[in-house]
Amino acid sequence: MRDVIERALSGSPADYTDVRIERRLGTTIKLTNGKIDGFESCTESGGIARCLTNGAWGVAVFNDLAELESCIDEAARIAAIVARDVAEPAGLAPVPCVQDEYRAGVENDFRAVPLSRKIKVLEAYHAAMAQESKRILLTVVDYSDGFSKTTFANSEGTYIVQELPNITLGLNSTARDDKDDIQQGFEHFGEAGGFDGVLGHEDAAKEVARRAVAMLDAPAIQAGQYSVILDPVLAGAFIHEAFGHQCEADFLHQNPRMAEMMTLGTEFGVPELNVVDEGFIPGLRGNVPYDDEGVRRAKTCILKEGRLHSLLHSRETAAKMGAEPTGNARAVGYEYSPIVRMTNTYIDSGETPFEEMIRGIDRGVYAKSFYGGSTAFEQFSFSAAYAYEIVDGEIGGLLRNVVLSGNLFETMRAIDAIGDDRTIVSGAAGCGKNGQFGLATPAGSPHIRIRNVTIGGQ
């Protein structure tokens, strides 16, 4: 295959050409109340060719390697047409030429696990949830596995082959009381590994069911301002959704108002606050050494001692903004051109033990896990999956309907304690941007404490 790719690249009439070819296989299974509600098994292959001519891109997608040369010709033809009217010519920041292979070693490879074994494991999780209480109305167990092999090559001489396994498990219980109130409990697991990643979660399944039932009797929080402790999952989601996306250079290039605000050196948080996008952490979902432009993923300190230190770049945005590429050009699949995306984004560890954080609050909220939310530039609104009241420095009873909202930058400046217990969560969900959904972007944080957070409720 390498000879075919390099021959096709050498014949390209464009100023620059790259090719990304992917072969992927996978299985998804959904059990609802112990019965198979969805099943899919697929093997797919295809590729994308990109050509840059006179500052304009042309792109073509193919599913047969025999079409590669004609596909490159088509992409080059499109680029030449677009170049006639391009308003802002694109360029590429220089990067080293790379020849490399990354092979994924997978213990207890899910590709060798019989379907019957997978279903049996999922049925056991259903049983663990369903048997926990008569008030459990619904259980859902979601399983997915996948393995991809991606080849990237460009006209500058780079040739990289990377393998990536992916396995996820979702556990969800819905409880109902005699007043038809409905509450949920859920947990998700994921990693770039083998079948062992979905084994041994029986205790979590039981806890999911118990939490759903307990939420039926939990009071809704009274609306107001509180001192809030976020657990590593919710804090990681906050820093990813509310701040990380603001640091993606293509977003800023398209939004002049935000670009003016996001000036390097600007103070956005307390001096103890450091935010990192670490490009490659083996074992976490979506992690390979190189991005989808063949650039080695970097460890980028986005926020250093509370000040904006760096943005996340592709080769194109780096060229436009006079920066260095950071290895953040990613695509959700071969059908898409890479855009600037986070990799593993987290708040770095501080020095405050969790117990000390709790002791410092007379009346507050301990918010856990991420249920959903939205951002609009610097404004955010996030829902915790569940929460506990904090009274006189101790964790109290369960709370529900905890929705945190406010201004991103004011909230970051209100962080007054950062824990010493950083955790990065691989999870089962994926990030969406510009029509590319489901990209694995692990996030994390230690526990953090924030003063005067607005929480909606009763």
Residue 100 is predicted with a pLDDT of 98
CA atoms within a 13 Å half-sphere pointing along the CA-CB vector of 411: 26
Sign of the torsion angle spanned by Cα atoms 128, 133, 134, 136: negative
Section 282-310 average pLDDT: 97
Confidence at 252, pLDDT banded by 50, 70, 90: confident
* Model pLDDT, residue 376: 82
Q: Same structural domain for residues 118 and 159?
A: yes
| CATH code assigned at 147 | 3.30.2290.10
pLDDT tens-digit map of 300-347: 999 999 999 999 999 999 999 999 999 999 999 999 999 999 999 999
Residues 381 and 275 in one domain: yes
9 plus 138 within the same structural domain: yes
Q: 52-81 pLDDT, tens per residue?
A: 999 999 999 999 999 999 999 999 999 999
Structure token pair of residue 137? 């109305």
> What is the C-alpha to C-alpha distance for residues 100 and 8, in angstroms, rounded to an integer?
20
Q: Which residue has 């969790």 as its token pair?
A: 354
Amino acid 458: pLDDT: 58
pLDDT at 354 over 70: yes
Q: What distance separates the 2 farthest-apart alpha carbons in the chain?
A: 72
Q: Among 217, 252, 267, which residue terminates a domain?
A: 217
Contact 20, 60 (CB under 8 A): no
Q: Could you give the C-alpha distances from 9 to 64, 91, 189, 296, in angstroms and in order?
A: 16, 19, 40, 21
- Give the pLDDT band (50/70/90) at residue 297: very high
CA distance 234 to 410: 18
Q: Does 235 score more than 90 pLDDT?
A: yes
Structure tokens at 284: 């976490």
Helix axes 115-130, 202-217, angle to 10 degrees: 30
Could you tell me where the DSSP H helices lie in 23-159?
Answer: 68-83, 115-130
Task: Check pLDDT > 70 for residue 457.
Answer: no
- What's the pLDDT at 8? 97
Distance CA 126, CA 139 (A): 6
Say if residue 378's pLDDT is above 90.
no
The average confidence (pLDDT) of the chain is 96
Q: Where residue 259 falls among pLDDT bands split at 50, 70, 90?
A: confident
Kindly indicate the confidence band of residue 373, based on its pLDDT and cuts at 50, 70 and 90. confident
Q: pLDDT over 90 for what percent of the chain? A: 92
Question: In this predicted structure, what is the pLDDT of residue 256?
Answer: 86
- In the listed set 200, 217, 234, which residue is the last one of a domain according to the structure? 217
Phi, psi dihedrals of residue 401, rounded to the nearest 5°: 60, 40
For the chain, the domain total comes to: 2
Report strand pairing: 182-191 vs 436-439. unpaired
The whole model's pTM is what?
A: 0.95
| pLDDT one-digit tens code per residue, 120-144 | 999 999 999 999 999 999 999 999 9
Question: What are the tokens at 8?
Answer: 């096709």
Do residues 191 and 320 share a domain? no
Indicate the DSSP class of residue 240: I
Residues 167 and 192 placed together within one structural domain of the fold: yes
Phi, psi of 418 (to 5 degrees): -125, 125
The mean per-residue pLDDT over the stretch 14-35 comes to 98
The residue among 252 and 65 whose pLDDT is bigger is 65
Q: What is the residue range of 95's domain? A: 2-217
* Residues 47, 74 share a domain: yes
Domain boundary among 155, 184, 217: 217
- pLDDT in the model for residue 261: 87
Look at residues 6, 1, 8 and name the one whose alpha carbon lies nearest to residue 60: 8
Question: 281 with 183, same domain?
Answer: no
CA-nearest of 142, 119, 141 to 130 is 141
Provide the percentage of residues in the chain whose pLDDT is more than 70. 100
Residue 254 has pLDDT above 90, yes or no: no
Measured on CA atoms in the order 316, 301, 104, 283, is the torsion positive or negative?
A: negative
Number of other residues whose CB lies within 10 A of the CB of residue 102: 16
Report the relative pairing of strands 339-340 and 329-330 from DSSP bridges.
antiparallel
Tens of pLDDT, residues 392-403: 999 999 999 999
